[in-house]
């Protein structure tokens, strides 16, 4: 090192400003880093940044989005409507409550929304209603669209005034009871015909009967059409109801995307029904560990008909939209978390600052020649 440079460095280290670079300076620097992180955390809504469930955010801001949440063998769909309203279809099972809540929180954050305007409980099974009470407690749910079945609670409290059966579903019973206690508006699916949300229309397809031996067959079936494309949601309806739908609606069943009934079980998706719907894409809500669902028969039937399969087992969470007159699909993928990068850099800087020797007043100098 040249003499001149050494001299300059020594002068710098003798500088009173540098001499004050002691414990308090380091502490101030650390506090500054913490404060900076807290500010950034609040500005970017850090709680969403650190959610463990990955949100499918490719189509944020798109007027029509269908989010498919991976709840294994269960259903949980979030539909973003062009009027900025939200329609949620089923809640998944209670054991996947964290996943669904985390997903909704992120959806609210990215779409700047704070309400679930409509919660459709397709039928009483736990894998569809298990998380309903928890969602009603945590989020602002405005309306419930329910299947044509009463709950035990309504039966016990003489609240039955229609000719419907009573469901034995425990979580359905709890959900209806909670909605009654907290005065959340409820509508039976057979009271609805079509609902319009700007360029989007939802048509509720009505069941032929009021009584079925299997609760799956009470599933609310509806078709959402946005611009030129449509999605048909089947809940867990089985072949018996599929046949009834063919009789009643025939070619009206045609849809571009089919939310396959009963997680791909062979009790649903008959060849005849698939031919009537004639979808390009089939959505399957199912688990990858299950050996029963989806049934090989149904998967083969879909493949033979060249229907593309989008399953939660293979894709995890994903989102669909209508774009350029076609249906687009995007999987939820982990994007770089800038808050984590900033936090790591700050921690390295703080570490370096604290590791450098304290100013020693006895020696007067840090730098030794």
Interface contacts to Zn ion, rule CB under 5 A: 127, 236
Rounded least distance, CB 207 to Zn ion, Å: 17
Instruction: Give the start-end residues of each E strand in 33-122.
Output: 65-68, 77-80, 86-89, 115-120
- Comparison of 236 and 346: residue with beta carbon closer to Zn ion: 236
Structure tokens belonging to residue 169: 């579903």
Rounded least distance, CB 90 to Zn ion, Å: 8
Note whether 171 and 160 are within 8 A (CB).
no
Rounded least distance, CB 35 to Zn ion, Å: 49
Q: How many CB atoms lie within 10 A of CB 217?
A: 24
- Comparison of 73 and 270: residue with beta carbon closer to Zn ion: 73
Q: ∠ CA(188), CA(194), CA(199), 5° rounding? A: 135
Structure tokens belonging to residue 92: 């998944």
- Comparison of 260 and 322: residue with beta carbon closer to Zn ion: 260
- Comparison of 122 and 134: residue with beta carbon closer to Zn ion: 122
Structure tokens belonging to residue 147: 């299947």
- Comparison of 148 and 327: residue with beta carbon closer to Zn ion: 148
Rounded least distance, CB 268 to Zn ion, Å: 10
Rounded least distance, CB 73 to Zn ion, Å: 7
What per-residue string of b and e applies to 12-45 under the rule 16 or more CB within 10 Å gives b? ebeeeebbebeeebbeebeeebeeebeebbeeee
Residues 6+ positions from 52 with CB-CB distance below 8 Å: 98, 102
- Comparison of 67 and 263: residue with beta carbon closer to Zn ion: 263
Asked whether the CA dihedral 91, 92, 95, 96 is positive or negative, the reply is negative
* Axis-axis angle for helices 23-43, 338-355 (nearest 10): 180
- Comparison of 76 and 200: residue with beta carbon closer to Zn ion: 76
Rounded least distance, CB 128 to Zn ion, Å: 5
Rounded least distance, CB 32 to Zn ion, Å: 53
CB-count burial class (<10 Å; 0-12, 13-18, 19+) for 137:
exposed
Rounded least distance, CB 155 to Zn ion, Å: 23
Helix H, strand E, coil C: the string for 46-61 is HHHHCCCCCCCCCCCC
- Comparison of 101 and 127: residue with beta carbon closer to Zn ion: 127
Rounded least distance, CB 287 to Zn ion, Å: 11
- Comparison of 56 and 237: residue with beta carbon closer to Zn ion: 237
CB-count burial class (<10 Å; 0-12, 13-18, 19+) for 60:
middle
Closest CA to 135 of 168, 97, 106: 97
């Amino acid at each position: 090192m040249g003499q001149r440079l050494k001299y300059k460095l020594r002068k710098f280290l003798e500088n009173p400003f540098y001499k004050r670079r002691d414990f308090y300076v380091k502490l101030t620097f650390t506090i500054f880093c913490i404060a900076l992180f807290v500010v950034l955390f609040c500005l970017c809504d850090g709680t969403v940044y650190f959610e463990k469930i990955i949100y499918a955010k490719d189509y944020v801001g798109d007027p029509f989005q269908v989010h498919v949440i991976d709840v294994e063998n269960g259903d949980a769909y979030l539909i973003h409507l062009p009027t900025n309203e939200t329609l949620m279809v089923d809640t998944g099972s209670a054991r996947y409550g964290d996943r669904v809540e985390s997903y909704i929180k992120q959806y609210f954050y990215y779409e700047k929304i704070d309400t679930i305007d409509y919660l459709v409980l397709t039928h009483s099974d736990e894998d569809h209603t298990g998380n309903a009470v928890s969602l009603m407690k945590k989020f602002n749910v405005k309306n419930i669209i329910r299947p044509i079945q009463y709950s035990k609670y309504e039966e016990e409290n003489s609240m039955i005034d229609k000719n419907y059966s009573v469901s034995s579903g425990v979580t359905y019973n709890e959900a209806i009871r909670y909605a009654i206690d907290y005065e959340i508006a409820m509508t039976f699916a057979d009271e609805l015909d079509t609902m319009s949300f700007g360029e989007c229309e939802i048509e509720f397809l009505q069941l032929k009967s009021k009584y079925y031996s299997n609760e799956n067959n009470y599933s609310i079936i509806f078709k959402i059409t946005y611009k030129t494309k449509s999605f048909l949601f089947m809940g867990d309806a089985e072949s018996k109801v599929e046949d009834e739908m063919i009789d009643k609606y025939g070619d009206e069943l045609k849809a571009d995307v089919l939310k396959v009934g009963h997680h791909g079980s062979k009790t649903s998706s008959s060849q005849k029904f698939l031919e009537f719907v004639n979808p390009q894409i089939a959505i399957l809500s199912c688990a990858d560990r299950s050996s029963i669902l989806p049934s090989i028969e149904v998967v083969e039937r879909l493949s033979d008909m060249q229907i593309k399969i989008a399953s939660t087992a293979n894709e995890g969470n994903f989102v669909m939209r209508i774009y350029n007159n076609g249906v687009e699909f995007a999987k939820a993928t982990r994007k770089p978390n800038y808050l984590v990068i900033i936090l790591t850099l700050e921690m390295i800087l703080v570490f370096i600052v604290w590791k450098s020797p304290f100013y020693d007043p006895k020696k007067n100098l840090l730098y030794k020649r």
